[in-house]
Chain A
Amino acid sequence: MSTRRLSPRAVSAAALQYLLLGLLAFLMVFPFLWMASTSLKSFGEAFAYPPTLLPRAWRWSNYGEIFNAMPMTRFLLNSCKITGLTVLGMLLSCSMAAFALARLEFPGKRLLFASTLATLMVPYQVTLIPVFILFQYLGWKDTHYPLWVPAFFGGAFGVFLLRQFFIGVPKDLYEAALVDGSTPGGILFRIYLPLAKPALTTLGVFTFMASWNDLLNPLIYIDTLEKMPLTAGLSFLQTQYGSDWPLMMAGAMISILPILAIFFVAQRAFIQGIATAGLKG
């Protein structure tokens, strides 16, 4: 988009544009705002009717209470380690396999693609027990390994996603580079990955989110509170007999803000996507 001289028509068009975007933004962000506001309310106010938009008294102590009740620093460190390794492993393995599926011809390729789709179609509820037994057998009890090691072997979602993006990259690029004497591996890392930055960012953000927000796996595989990642650790606030909503929402805020921050920052890659688009074709 180029900046133009502003005519009255352009101004009103822009205003309309922002009005629509803003209206939509309100629809999308409302529950988030409720969550933020509830995290600062007293227990009684959380369910008051009519609901109060802003807390009557801002109870920042809700957050303090969480930090007192939980080893938050440990949680954060664990989350960073697990999520960092997961994202790294996922991007690496998925892009390699996806490139092979998108551009290279090798035996078993069709079967590999079909298997990729197939693994997405099995609900985790039926594989939970066999996978659990497998990890026990590997001696991964109460360790972080079940949470990040599999990422280094890729994932069906990521492979499928990147394959579709790589297919969209003009094939002439690949062929030209081959003629210039590059190896397929070199082409992947020097040409395809830089071009696929928006796609890699997307997968990175999604993997980050999935790993950071994962409740089930940490709760099943980890037995020690100090080894829990953030989101799973905070789920201990939820008890069998109903929950302390303000505390729970404060916990949810703490675990969500990093994802939003990452997403906000990651969008730079999208802008770069526009800039590099000129190189293509």
Chain B
Amino acid sequence: MPAHQAVAPQPVPGRRRGSLARTERFWGLLLSSPYILGLLFFAAGPILFSWIIGFFEWDSLTPPRFVALANWQRLFTDPLFHKALFNTLYFVLGSVPPGVLLSLLLAMAVNRGIKGITIFRTIYFTPVVTSVVAVALVWTWIYDTNVGILNLLIERTFKLFGARPPEPIAWLNDPRFAMPAIIAMSIWKGLGYNMVIFLAALQDVPTQLYEAAELDGAGRLGKFRHVTLPMISPVTFFVLAVSLIGAFQVFDQIYIMAKDGRPANSTLTIVYHLYNHAFRYLEMGYASTIGAALFLMIFAVTLFQLWAQKRWVHYQ
């Protein structure tokens, strides 16, 4: 926790400070007690179990056999895991920064009181709720090599400028393009989700701060830089952290749109690999090791973010 957050209100006289600390301790524990119980009961057990079982050979059906670090060693020699690791990092880097930026822009675009804006917001939210199978099928058509809209657009654009159009790209069938294609679809599908979070944050920025900035002669960009960005930074941190954590665990899009990590394992991700071992190959022990390794990776990235946020997140 950043130091300035610690509760030590200056104006409160010393005598009351001790009792305030007691009050806060009491209320802090009381208010978080259901959540703490839930963590202990529903989350901690299963998670610890999965970490421990990562040191066992376990098919989930017969008694586990302790193998010490064998599963961890296997990670280092499993070429598919390395492939999955690379693909996952590719997905994370490719999808999170543009996704967060675009959803912030989108939220600002719809954060206005014009007529019919609620309809536009609802429309922008539809990809989030549209059935994944429907989304996957439509995007498969968009990406189709021969009749897809995307290749058609590229061809038309080239012709418009009098250039010779390139060979049609097999978006989902070419290992070089499949991951970018999946990333683009994921960004599109997730935009509305983060848009809503940003929208809520933008609504929370007190209007008089803008007015004050205007008085100081700040232009649009100035207001954005000096008012909006700092005021929504705690939420931006949330969106960034959660998006990263989620992107590291990408599974659904691959499962539906790029079965088996096709083509040629170019979209095989860590969690997909994990799923195969856990439920198709009955190797829950190794799958748990993969899960624990993934956890360590996400944890490291998040720790870095927690450290870095102190430099850019503005806490009240």
Q: Are B234 and A134 in contact (CB under 8 A)?
A: no
- 19 pairs, CB–CB < 8 Å, chain A vs chain B: A31-B130, A100-B27, A100-B32, A105-B21, A117-B245, A118-B47, A121-B294, A122-B295, A123-B271, A127-B47, A150-B42, A152-B34, A153-B42, A155-B38, A165-B235, A167-B315, A175-B9, A202-B196, A263-B125
Quote the shortest CB–CB distance from A18 to chain B (angstroms). Answer: 8
Q: Are A93 and B20 in contact (CB under 8 A)?
A: no
Tell whether, in the assembled complex, residue B35 and residue A264 are in contact, meaning their CB atoms are under 8 Å apart: no
Contact B241 A117 (CB under 8 A): yes
In the complex, the chain B residue whose C-beta lies closest to that of A26 is B123
Instruction: Check A63 for interface membership: any CB of B closer than 8 A.
Output: no
Pick from B43, B126, B193, B248: contact of A28, CB under 8 Å: B126
- Interface size, B (range): 35 or more
Which residues of A have CB within 8 Å of B46?
127, 130-131, 134
A201-B36 contact given A28-B192, A122-B291, CB 8 Å threshold: no
Enumerate A113-160 residues with CB–CB distance to B below 8 Å: 113, 115-123, 125-127, 129-131, 134, 150, 152-157, 159-160
> Measuring CB to CB, which residues of chain A are less than 8 angstroms from any residue of chain B?
1, 14, 17, 20-21, 24-25, 27-32, 34-35, 38, 49-51, 93-94, 96-97, 99-101, 103-107, 109-110, 112-113, 115-123, 125-127, 129-131, 134, 150, 152-157, 159-161, 164-165, 167-171, 175, 178-179, 183-185, 188, 195-196, 198-199, 201-202, 205-206, 209, 213, 248-249, 252, 256, 259-260, 263-264, 267, 270-271, 273-274, 277-278, 280-281
Known: A123-B294, A127-B47. A274 touches B241 (CB 8 A): no
Contact of A198 (CB < 8 Å), options: B204, B249, B315 = B204
Q: How many A-B Cβ pairs are below 8 Å?
A: 294
**Is B11 part of the binding interface, using a Cβ–Cβ cutoff of 8 Å?**
yes
In the bound complex, what is the Cα–Cα distance between A44 and B197 (angstroms)? 41
**Docked-complex contact B129 and A28, CB < 8 angstroms:** no
Bound complex: CA A17 to CA B113 (Å): 12
- The answer, among A117, A126, A184, A248, for a CB contact under 8 Å with B302, is A117
Contact A125-B129, Cβ < 8 Å, known A115-B39, A184-B24, A202-B200: no
- Interface segment among B160-168, B217-225, B257-265, B274-282: the answer is B274-282
Hey, which chain B residues are within 8 Å of A104, CB to CB?
Answer: 7, 24-25, 27-28, 31
A14 to B124, CA, bound (A): 19
Question: Is there an interface contact between B1 and A113, defined as CB atoms closer than 8 Å?
Answer: yes
Q: How far is the CA of A125 from the CA of B36 in the complex (A)?
A: 23
CA distance A85 to B71 in the complex (A): 41
